């Protein structure tokens, strides 16, 4: 993992891809979320996938909480709760509320691509600070979604929101 | 070890105490010090390790997300916070592959090389390279390993604390040891000072000051108890010594009061000690003798022994000591003035505590001279008495026989006219008379011959003796007299006393065949209460000395001197009765006679006679020569047939009518029937069946006016004197001569 939090000259979404996977390590999902150890950890991407093949390659090498990672596309009509983590790309700013309402209350860690989408319902949103990739955390939303964000992750956040 | 023990043993109690207390304190402190330091070291170590590990774990947990998210500045800032703990010097974080992610060094320290990579499987580990603490802590989250944290801590501060503690402990230990030393010295003084004082007092007591007592410090505790007991011991010792001293004083007083000489002899060493009395009874002074305990048995005893006793005494002494352990004997020792003192010596070996006799003998000397002298005198006196009785008996019988002989001779003479025959009969008469004279001397010795009691002038007697002697004495013998007694008067029989003096003078003459000096000396002598050598009551005495310068006598001869029939003269020259008669005569005059003689130097006889001052009327001694005839009836009573017959013949020849009886019983029978016809009774004193005294009493009962003349082979004795006082008319001693008998009868009949 020779990747800095804010590597200059590193492509933005490679960093974000790595951070996504690492973040998941520091978040606890409610019990019973994984019926078996072999059950996959599903990452859904809403909107246009900014990662390209990088994330696809990455998830085949990595595991989250010893679970294999499954990468899917978030369909607006799909069953909510079919994923554990949802990355909302920039392209979905306009459809954000719809997406969030679909999820509403399910234990899905919602990560937004930009700070602009950081609002009620989004748990973590990326933003750049002092030239490095950082993120904000909405602790109140996470609690509603029955997700526990560990202190290790919280102390890395640039801002923690309670609402 | 031994030298350390002996070193310790030779210290005083105080030093020992101090040494013990200081040593124990030091060991205790050192132990405490070592243990506490060890514990502290371990504790500090554990604390440091624990603290560093804890820090590492917290830091690992805290910074794991930084590592995961590769946030290097935050990681560095986190690690820098660790240096707030002063011991932490380095902190490095390695990623899951073991590559160095971030390294921080405590500001102000030179950066030390740290490993660029470590094993990705590095376990949690604690190492101590170069006095430093190195801790590896895995960085995990939810069981997943993300990297490793390495912390390096310095042990210097902990070492500094330890050093400080050591220094403080050392200083404290030194202070405590110093305090302990002072305390020990105080304790030592407190404990040993009384003991030191005790020792000083003991020394004083040992030097003889028994009145010393120890001050008792308080009432409780061993020292107080010791002091009390020391005082009790001193009391007991003092009492004991006092008792011994008193006992010794009593003993000395006893010895001195009883005039007993004491001695102590050590058989093995020859040590001899004698008390002052030992010497004083010999008229000697203890200071003239070496009483230092040297071997002076010879000087104080052997040399002073009588030569005749010496051998036997020494033999007895050594024998009885070895054989019986008890010793007792008599011997003579020389008085300073030359006379011999009889000593009764007794001794006994001291016993050891087991009762065995030791070689130390203690004993006494008692002067028994007086006792020995008295015993000797008593023995002599008893001997003389028994000899006297024997002699008296012989004389009595002999006189009876002589009465017959003399009477018969006188009767024959009256019938004879032939001068030749008359001479022969007269020879018989002379011999018989000489024999009668011998028996008279025997009786004198037996003190049964004092007939006459009259006042006697001794000086006159001496002059008469000298007159008698002057013709029969050798001219080479000078006679001297110093007659100084005043008055020279005594009471007694002048004939006996004259005979005694004559006897002594003749003996003196015979002792000087080649001439010499014969001296008579008289003087007055007053005898006091105590006259041990003379058996005489106190009073005034005449002393008559008859001394010669002749051959003298040995002690042996002197001891038999007054015994009858003892003579040193040739056979036929002496009768052996001379001095015996002298002795008897003096004794019967209540006097005493002593003899002092030394062979070659002469002999002195000393006579003591009771002195009288008032004059007694002199009794006339009539001496008629011719027989006086008569015609009266006489009853003659005598058991001796010859004497009876001869006397009857004599009396009949004188013209008397005579009836005879053989004893008192016959005489009484006759007298009771015909007492009117009997004018006079001649009555023998000693007869079988009934003697003179009883017969006289019976006759007097019949006729109180009976005239009786007593006759006896003994001289006038108490029994006869008694009868004379009761009324018997006269006494005649057998053998009697015709003239004497006729005169006596005539005297009684006409009186």
Cα B368 from chain centroid?
14
pLDDT tens sequence across B101-138:
999 998 888 877 888 889 888 888 888 888 788 999 99
Give mean pLDDT, residues B488-507: 84
CA distance A72 to B486: 196
For chain A, say whether B78 makes contact (Cβ under 8 Å): no
Cα A60 from chain centroid?
17
Q: What pLDDT shows up at residue B555?
A: 81
Q: Which residues of B171-204 are buried (b: 16+ CB within 10 A; e: fewer)?
A: eebeebbeebeeebbeebeeebebeeebeebeee
**Paired tokens of B263:** 């001695």
**DSSP symbols for B479-516:** EEEEE--SS-EEEE-HHHHHHHHHHHHHHHHHH-TT-E
pLDDT tens sequence across B415-434:
888 888 888 888 888 888 88
Q: What pLDDT shows up at residue B446?
A: 67
For residues B734 and B713, the answer to whether their CB atoms sit within 8 Å is yes
Nearest-neighbour CA in chain B from A2: distance (Å): 8
CA distance B94 to B156: 26
For residues B147 and B139, the answer to whether their CB atoms sit within 8 Å is yes
Q: In the predicted model, is pLDDT for residue B283 greater than 60?
A: yes
User: Which residues of chain A make contact with B64, given a CB cutoff of 8 A?
Assistant: 152
The ipTM assigned to this model is 0.86
pLDDT tens sequence across B650-678:
888 788 888 889 888 888 888 888 888 88
Record: contact B70-A1, CB cut-off 8 A: yes
Lowest mean per-residue pLDDT among B176-180, B355-359, B658-662: B355-359
Give the H/E segment covering residue B310: helix B307-323
pLDDT tens sequence across B388-402:
777 777 888 888 888
Nearest-neighbour CA in chain A from B172: distance (Å): 52
Is there a cis peptide before residue B735, judged by omega within 30 degrees of 0?
Answer: yes
Nearest-neighbour CA in chain B from A66: distance (Å): 9
Cα within 13 Å of Cα(B504), Cβ side: 29
CA distance B397 to A75: 205
Q: What pLDDT shows up at residue A4?
A: 42
B552 φψ region: left (φ > 0), alpha (ψ -120 to 50), beta (else): left
**Paired tokens of B47:** 């604390």
Q: What's chain A's Rg over C-alpha atoms?
A: 15
Give mean pLDDT, residues A90-103: 84
Q: In the predicted model, is pLDDT for residue B621 greater than 50?
A: no
Is there a cis peptide before residue B228, judged by omega within 30 degrees of 0?
Answer: no
CA distance B166 to A156: 48
For chain A, say whether B66 makes contact (Cβ under 8 Å): yes
User: Which residues of chain A make contact with B96, given a CB cutoff of 8 A?
Assistant: 1
For residues B704 and B373, the answer to whether their CB atoms sit within 8 Å is no
Q: In the predicted model, is pLDDT for residue B625 greater than 50?
A: no
Q: In the predicted model, is pLDDT for residue B98 greater than 80?
A: yes
**Paired tokens of B49:** 């390790």
Record: contact A156-B71, CB cut-off 8 A: yes
User: Which residues of chain B make contact with A5, given a CB cutoff of 8 A?
Assistant: 69-72
């Amino acid at each position: 993992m020779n990747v800095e939090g804010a590597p200059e000259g590193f492509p933005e979404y490679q960093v974000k891809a790595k951070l996504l996977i690492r973040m998941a390590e520091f978040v606890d999902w409610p019990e019973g979320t994984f019926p078996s150890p072999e059950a996959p950890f599903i990452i859904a991407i809403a909107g246009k996938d900014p990662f390209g093949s990088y994330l696809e390659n990455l998830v085949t090498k990595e595991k989250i909480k010893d679970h294999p990672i499954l990468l899917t596309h978030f369909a607006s009509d799909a069953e909510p709760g079919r994923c554990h983590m949802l990355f909302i790309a920039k392209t979905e700013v306009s459809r954000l509320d719809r997406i969030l309402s679909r999820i509403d209350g399910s234990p899905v860690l919602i990560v937004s691509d930009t700070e602009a989408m950081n609002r009620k319902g989004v748990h973590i949103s990326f933003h750049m600070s002092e030239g490095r990739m950082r993120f904000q955390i909405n602790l109140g939303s996470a609690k509603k979604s029955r997700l526990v964000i560990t202190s290790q992750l919280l102390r890395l956040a640039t801002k923690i929101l309670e609402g | 070890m031994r030298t350390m023990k002996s070193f310790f043993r030779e210290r005083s109690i105080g030093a020992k105490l101090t040494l013990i207390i200081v040593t124990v304190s030091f060991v205790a402190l050192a132990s405490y010090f070592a243990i506490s330091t060890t514990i502290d070291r371990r504790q500090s170590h554990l604390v440091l390790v624990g603290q560093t590990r804890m820090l590492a774990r917290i830091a690992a947990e805290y910074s794991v997300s930084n590592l995961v998210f590769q946030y290097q500045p935050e990681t560095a800032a986190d690690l820098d916070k660790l240096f707030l703990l002063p011991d932490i010097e380095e902190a490095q974080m390695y990623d899951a592959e073991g590559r160095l992610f971030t390294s921080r060094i405590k500001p102000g320290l030179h950066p030390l090389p740290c490993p660029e990579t470590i094993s990705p499987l590095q376990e949690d580990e604690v190492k101590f390279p170069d006095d430093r603490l190195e801790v590896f802590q895995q960085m995990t989250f939810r069981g997943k390993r993300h990297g490793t944290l390495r912390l390096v801590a310095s042990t210097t501060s902990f070492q500094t604390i330890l050093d400080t503690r050591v220094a403080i402990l050392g200083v404290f230990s030194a202070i405590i040891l110093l305090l302990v030393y002072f305390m020990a010295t105080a304790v030592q003084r407190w404990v040993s000072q009384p003991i030191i004082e005790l020792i000083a007092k003991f020394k004083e007591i040992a030097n003889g000051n028994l009145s010393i007592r120890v001050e008792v410090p308080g009432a409780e505790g061993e020292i107080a108890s010791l002091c009390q007991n020391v005082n009790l011991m001193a009391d007991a010792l003092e009492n004991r010594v006092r008792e011994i001293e008193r006992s010794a004083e009593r003993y000395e007083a006893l010895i001195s009061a009883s005039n007993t000489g004491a001695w102590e002899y050590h058989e093995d060493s020859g040590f001899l000690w004698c008390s002052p009395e030992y010497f004083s009874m010999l008229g000697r002074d203890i200071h003239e003798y070496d009483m230092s305990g040297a071997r002076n048995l010879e000087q104080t005893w052997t040399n002073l022994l009588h030569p005749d006793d010496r051998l036997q005494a020494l033999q007895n002494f050594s024998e009885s000591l070895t054989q019986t352990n008890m010793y007792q004997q008599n011997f003579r020792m020389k008085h300073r003035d030359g006379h011999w003192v009889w000593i009764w010596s007794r001794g006994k070996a001291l016993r050891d505590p087991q009762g065995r006799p030791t070689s130390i003998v203690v004993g006494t000397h008692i002067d028994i001279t007086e006792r020995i002298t008295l015993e000797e005198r008593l023995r002599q006196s008893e001997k003389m008495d028994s000899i006297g009785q024997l002699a008296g008996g012989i004389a009595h019988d002999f006189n009876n026989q002589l009465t017959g002989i003399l009477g018969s001779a006188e009767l024959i003479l009256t019938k004879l006219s032939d001068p030749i025959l008359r001479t022969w009969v007269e020879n018989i008469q002379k011999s018989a008379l000489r024999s009668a004279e011998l028996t008279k001397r025997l009786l004198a010795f037996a003190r049964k011959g004092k007939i006459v009691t009259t006042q006697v002038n001794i000086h006159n007697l001496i002059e008469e003796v000298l007159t008698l002697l002057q013709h029969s004495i050798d001219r080479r013998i000078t006679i001297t007299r110093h007659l100084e007694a005043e008055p020279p008067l005594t009471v007694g029989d002048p004939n006996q006393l004259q005979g005694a003096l004559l006897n002594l003078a003749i003996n003196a003459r015979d002792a000087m065949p080649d001439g010499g000096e014969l001296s008579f000396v008289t003087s007055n002598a007053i005898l006091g209460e105590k006259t041990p050598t003379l058996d005489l009551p106190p009073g005034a005495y005449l002393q008559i000395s008859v001394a010669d310068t002749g051959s003298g006598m040995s002690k042996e001869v002197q001891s038999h001197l007054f015994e009858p029939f003892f003579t040193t003269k040739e056979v036929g020259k002496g009768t052996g009765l001379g001095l015996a008669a002298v002795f008897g005569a003096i004794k019967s005059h209540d006097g005493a006679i002593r003899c002092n003689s030394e062979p070659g130097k002469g002999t002195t006889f000393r006579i003591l006679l009771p002195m009288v001052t008032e004059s007694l009327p002199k009794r006339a001694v009539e001496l008629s020569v011719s027989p006086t005839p008569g015609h009266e009836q006489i009853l003659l009573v005598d058991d001796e047939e010859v004497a009876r017959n001869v006397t009857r013949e004599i009396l009949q020849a004188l013209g008397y009518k005579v009836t005879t009886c053989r004893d008192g019983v016959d005489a009484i029978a006759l007298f009771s029937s015909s007492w009117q016809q009997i004018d006079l009774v001649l009555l023998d004193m000693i007869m079988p069946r009934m003697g003179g005294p009883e017969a006289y009493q019976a006759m007097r009962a019949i006729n109180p006016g009976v005239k009786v003349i007593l006759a006896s082979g003994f001289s006038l004795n108490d029994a006869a004197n008694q009868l004379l006082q009761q009324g018997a008319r006269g006494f005649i001693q057998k053998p009697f001569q015709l003239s004497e008998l006729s005169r006596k009868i005539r005297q009684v009949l006409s009186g």
